[in-house]
Amino acid sequence: MTFTAQLDTMVSTLRTARTRLLAPLDFSQQQLPHDPEIFVENVLLYVMDEWSADLKAQGHVLEEDTEWSDAASHYPRFVLRMAGGNSAQLHFTGRYPEALFLTVSKGFRNNTQFSDAKHATVELPITNDPNVLMISLMDGLKGITVQ
């Protein structure tokens, strides 16, 4: 499976996740939390769990890399194992609460490696609304052109 096909699969699965009703936004909590771990746990991981469930239904496995730790950004890293045997790494980076980026790169056997030639980066909003984050993920990945 080519890297472009992997990205297309991710986007189509995000569409499926988006069509389900996500948790409604509590408008009394519009301000971002001071603790980045709260944002990661309540919003980012929630969106990734929804996406993971739909990927799993299609035979793919999206798992958080629990050995990964970055005290500076607090953002997680995921490994996506595609049904055909290929893998991709999804690495959230940035500095909370200023920036959030998702870099998707072609996976290798060694989890610390990634391909500079096969990667895509999407800038995402930092928001308490999981719907906005999911739409931004979908639109960002959909708009990427891999050469």
Which whole-number Å values give the CA distances from 77 to 23, 29, 62, in the listed order? 23, 26, 10
What pLDDT digit, counting tens, does each position of 95-144 carry? 999 999 999 988 666 656 655 567 889 999 999 888 889 999 999 999 88
DSSP annotation of 21 reads P
Sign, Cα dihedral of 66, 78, 106, 104? negative
What pLDDT digit, counting tens, does each position of 7-66 carry? 999 988 888 876 665 656 565 566 888 899 999 998 999 999 999 999 999 999 999 998
Rounded to whole angstroms, how far apart are CA atoms 21 and 70? 32
The domain segmentation of the chain, as residue ranges, is 3-18+34-142
Work out the angle between the directed axes of helices 45-57 and 130-142 (0-180°, nearest 10).
60
